[in-house]
Structure 1
């Protein structure tokens, strides 16, 4: 998910996407600890998506 896509979302949508992204990141980490993933860069990508969503949500709450 690109930053331009994140900026277009509403606050409620950001919250929902953040929960989904955190779950996906946790699932990827768990799957990688059991059996190495074919593409471990998925974990990094998921972590960065979580950070983008959380940052945008915090930014909007502070405005």
Structure 2
């Protein structure tokens, strides 16, 4: 998910998306621990998406 897409979402939508993305990351990480993923770069992409969403939420809370 790109930063421009994240900025367009409302705060409630960001909270929901953060939960979904964290769950998806945890599931993928568990699957990778059991057997190697075909594309392990997915883990990095999801982790960075979680960080982008969390950063945007924090930025909105500060303002």
| TM-score (norm: length of structure 2) | 0.99
Counterpart for residue 25 of structure 1: 25
- Partners of 2:46 and 2:22 lie apart in 1 by 8
Aligned length: 63
- Partners of 2:47 and 2:27 lie apart in 1 by 12
Structure 2 unpaired stretches of 5+ = none
Counterpart for residue 5 of structure 1: 5
Structure-to-structure mapping, 1:40-59, within 5 angstroms? 40-59=40-59
1:17 to partner: Cα distance: 0.2
Cα-to-partner distance string for 1:14-40 (whole Å, 9 max, x where unaligned):
000000000010011000000000000
Structure 1 unpaired stretches of 5+ = none
RMSD over equivalenced CA pairs, Å: 0.3
Question: 4+ residue runs of structure 1 moved beyond 2 angstroms?
Answer: none
